[in-house]
Amino acid sequence: MVVRKHVVAIDGPAGVGKTSTSKLVAGRLGYVYVDTGALYRAVAWKFLQEGVKLSDKKRLRDVLKGMSLQVKPERNRLRILIGGKDVTNRLRSRKITGLSSKVAAIAAVRKFLVEIQRKAGKKGGVVMEGRDIGTVIFPATPYKFFLTASIEMRAMRRYLELKGQGRDVVLSEIKRDIIARDRRDRGRKISPLRRAKDAVLVDSTNITMREVVNCIVSKIK
């Protein structure tokens, strides 16, 4: 008997642990991990390279129209190519992170990326993380999860992650950035961050990553 592989949608705000959780869930299920946030970072990177001002709608649309963006999902990794060039490792700077949430609020950008995201998960067998996977990209998937945690915990996790990478960061600044990001993500008119009505809510404030992953995998199986 052939077992159908579905899309597992994992949504949630910044710093809640979506990336680590999604990678581990994908590994447990034998699925491919897809980080849709990387696509918005890629567009932000392209806009910076081209000197695009977000207020210049015509220039913005022209750059999108001529942008060759390819997604190559690999086990526990998503490679992003722009114009055939792998830019995956260039998308994690603080500047890109800040700009990506502003870029994500632009209707033309979201329209440009919707089909790319759907194509990445068309055959199923993927764990896709983002902010509107369960509400917009794959609303029909039976496996939707919404991760949450306190602001303090999210800021501390991001702080420890960046410190572990050797980055010079300040906890209070990270907390401020996360609060601002939440405000933008929840307040935008196009595909705002929200929990799908049928998504399983998982609060990771007081539980370990392993417990979060076990919860999700048990619900799927």
Number of structural domains the chain divides into = 1
CATH number for the domain harbouring residue 169 = 3.40.50.300
Is 2 within a domain?
A: no
> Virtual CA dihedral for 93, 146, 210, 76, nearest 10 degrees?
-50
pLDDT confidence bin for 4, thresholds 50/70/90: low
User: Contact 157/13 with Cβ under 8 angstroms?
Assistant: no
Residue 142: which domain range? 7-220
Instruction: Give me the pLDDT at residue 68, please.
Output: 92
- What is the DSSP code (8-state) at residue 115? H
Instruction: Give me the pLDDT at residue 149, please.
Output: 97
3-state secondary structure of 60: helix
For the record, the structure tokens of 205 come out as 């404030």
Is 171 within a domain?
A: yes
42-46, 139-143, 160-164, 175-179: lowest mean pLDDT where?
Answer: 160-164
Q: Which residue has the higher pLDDT, 2 or 127?
A: 127
The per-residue pLDDT for range 53-109, each reduced to its tens digit, is 999 999 999 999 999 998 887 765 678 999 999 998 888 887 898 898 889 889 999
Is 43 within a domain?
A: yes
Helix/strand/coil (H/E/C) assignment for every residue in 22-57: HHHHHHHHCCEEEECHHHHHHHHHHHHHHCCCCCCH
Instruction: Give me the pLDDT at residue 2, please.
Output: 40
Average pLDDT of span 101-126: 90
- What is the DSSP code (8-state) at residue 90? G
Is 161 within a domain?
A: yes
Instruction: Give me the pLDDT at residue 221, please.
Output: 84
Q: Which residue has the higher pLDDT, 124 or 1?
A: 124
Q: Which residue has the higher pLDDT, 154 or 1?
A: 154
* Residue 47 pLDDT > 70: yes
Q: pTM for the whole thing? A: 0.86
Instruction: Give me the pLDDT at residue 1, please.
Output: 35
**Residue tagged 């996790």 (tokens):** 157
> Virtual CA dihedral for 199, 205, 207, 210, nearest 10 degrees?
60
